[in-house]
A and B are shown apart, each in its own frame.
Chain A
Amino acid sequence: MNEHRSPAPQDTPQLTGWRRFASPALCYRLAGHFIRPCTKLAIVLTLAGLYLGFFVAPTDAVQGEVYRIIFIHVPTAWMSMFIYLIMAFWAVVGLVMKTRVSFMLMRALAPTGAIFCFLALWTGALWGRPTWGSYWVWDARLTSQLLLMFLYLGFIALTHSIEDLRRADFAGAILALVGALNVPVIYFSVKWWSTLHQGASVSLSKAPSMATTMLVAMLLVALAAWAYTIAVSMVRLRHIILMRERRSTWVRALLDAQEQKETA
């Protein structure tokens, strides 16, 4: 009988192929490589996009100068929806593959998503006042976006309120999955219901209804928002990994190295 053989040590599962990316130690190192390039990219793209948007793009014939809010409104709104979908994606990966890093990624993204969601609502309110005459209307697009804000806040509150990490991750993953149903509702709300909010200026199925310089400026800022999201979520992911893996030998070694650097 082989039952009495000592089992493989539980703390070093043999991860092979692409599965080794599920290792927190490897993810910690990989994440570190993204932070600086993405930060630089975000700064350069923001500057380029806003330069185009404010100094090259012409005044809008109908709305005048106030339309320039679009360069921040659309990228933040897009990003708030993308981030929730990415969280739902990592929730699925975590639930199916049982990889802990997936849940850490999911949780690392939430605060940034909440910030972008708030900014979409805020810039939308400030754009709505001069163009619709009101900061807020209970319109399908606005209401579903507000629901997304509550989903983000709910996710953060829920995952922070459960002490047991495994249960917190599981509860967060379920909320991310269920809440993701709201994202298509936001996106298609302007088609499904008659709303004050205008339809999509940019879509895959038809030519964009914007001047080229305006479009390019907006897309540059949207790319900057992506780069920014990657940078800050990787920083947050590294913090989460360090905290959760603090009992492992590699974090202990890092800690010792840090201490020696400080005393030296």
Chain B
Amino acid sequence: MQWESWSAFWHMGGRAWYVWGSYAVCFALIALEVAQLMRARRTLWQKLRRLAMLENTDTLPPPPDASGAA
């Protein structure tokens, strides 16, 4: 173990702002990205349903690039 106490750990030899500032922003941004993706997943299905209703009433022919049919 490298540290005499937890306060020494958080103190980081006087460089706490630099070390914890780096790690805090990293984890914050990663958390933001994950949260954004989870929100996007929830809204995506609603959006798809709405678009399905809209596009069903279209008289346009289907686009030529619908090769996803499995």
Contacts and interface: CB of A to CB of B under 8 A. Distances in A.
Contact of B45 (A11, A111, A258): A258
A66 B18 contact: yes
A130 B12 CA distance: 13
B45 A255 contact: yes
A25 B68 contact: yes
B44 A252 contact: no
A160 to B, nearest CB: 14
A122 B12 CA distance: 19
B60 to A, nearest CB: 10
Interface in B23-59: 23, 25-26, 29-30, 33-34, 37, 40-41, 44-45, 47-49, 51-52, 55
Contact of A255 (B9, B17, B48, B69): B48
Interface residues of A, number: 53
Contact of B19 (A68, A228, A246): A68
Interface of A: 10-13, 23-26, 54-59, 64-66, 68-69, 72-73, 76, 100, 111-112, 115, 118-119, 122-123, 126-127, 129-130, 228, 232, 235-236, 239, 241-243, 245-252, 255, 258-259
Q: Which 9 pairs of residues, A with B, have the shortest CB-CB distance?
A: A65-B13, A25-B70, A245-B68, A248-B68, A66-B15, A123-B22, A24-B68, A65-B12, A126-B18
27 contacts: A12-B67, A12-B69, A23-B68, A25-B69, A54-B9, A56-B2, A64-B14, A65-B13, A66-B15, A68-B12, A69-B19, A76-B26, A115-B30, A127-B18, A130-B18, A228-B30, A235-B37, A239-B41, A241-B68, A243-B47, A243-B48, A246-B52, A248-B66, A249-B69, A250-B68, A250-B69, A259-B49
